[in-house]
Amino acid sequence: MGSVVLVTGGTGRLGRRVVGHLRNSGCDVRVLTRHRHEDSGGVTYLTGDLSAGTGIGAAVAEAGSVVHCATSTKGDAAATRHLVAAMSRAGAPHIVFPSIVGSDRLRWGYPQAKLAAEDIVSESGLPWTIVRATQFFDYILAGLRTMAGRPVIPVPAGVDLQPIDPDEVAARLVELTLSGPAGRAPDLAGPQITTWVDMLRDYLDATGKRRLLMPVRIPGTGAIRGGGLLPGPGHTAAEHTWAQFLSATGG
């Protein structure tokens, strides 16, 4: 059995994929979760609440690394502060934090919450790695499925994005975890720059749906139209395309 790695948010969209890749790499995996789970598949589940600051000390006690995938639309700052404090008391294991591309450019709630959490991690005194990723294919697909329920679909116009397969993000997080602290790692993005309009058209073609698309410019989205969702220079490009993802999921 390999080193002990704790995953916060290990039952979520990204975290569960990270857990799978860690297990495949031979790691002893623990998951910190608010809800009780039975241990399974070689994964140990520990009950705790990052926001409340409970149960964290026991979870990080023997961990050599922590992958902090837990996230909330209400903000990540308090949870991240509680986590890094517990990690410091436990002897400063390596913390790996997945953030989002645009956190330093987009001035609204979720990106700003991620940026605040990045600052907490980088200023914690712990060995750390932060990597920003673009939008996940499955997150976009869920939105497109909802949008496609309308006969006429308003679609954000003039917005470039470079989305990525979340499984490739998880695999990269595990590589970074096992290779040791890297500080700010290169951004992660998919292999192609696209638009909401093009992605929706691809989805409609894949599912045989016919809808009228109405591109619209959304007020207050100048930062996005200015490339705010695109990765920075020297980013790491993933391999899987949106078309491959749609084919694999059946749209």
Residue 44 pLDDT > 90? yes
Lowest mean pLDDT across 135-144, 152-161, 239-248:
152-161
Give start and end residues of each alpha helix (H) in the chain: 15-24, 56-60, 77-90, 109-122, 137-147, 166-179, 196-207, 222-223, 242-249
| pLDDT band (50, 70, 90) for residue 250 | confident
**What pLDDT shows up at residue 76?**
80
**What pLDDT shows up at residue 2?**
56
- Structural domains for the chain: 4-249 (3.40.50.720)
Residues in contact with 24: Cβ distance below 8 Å, sequence separation at least 6, in sequence order: none
Residue 220 pLDDT > 80? no
Q: What is the mean pLDDT of residues 192-217?
A: 94
Lowest mean pLDDT across 43-52, 84-93, 103-112, 222-231:
222-231
**What pLDDT shows up at residue 223?**
66
> What's the CA gap between 28 and 16, in Å, rounded?
14
184 close to 233: Cβ distance less than 8 angstroms:
no
> What's the CA gap between 164 and 138, in Å, rounded?
9
**What pLDDT shows up at residue 221?**
62
Predicted TM-score (pTM) of the model is 0.94
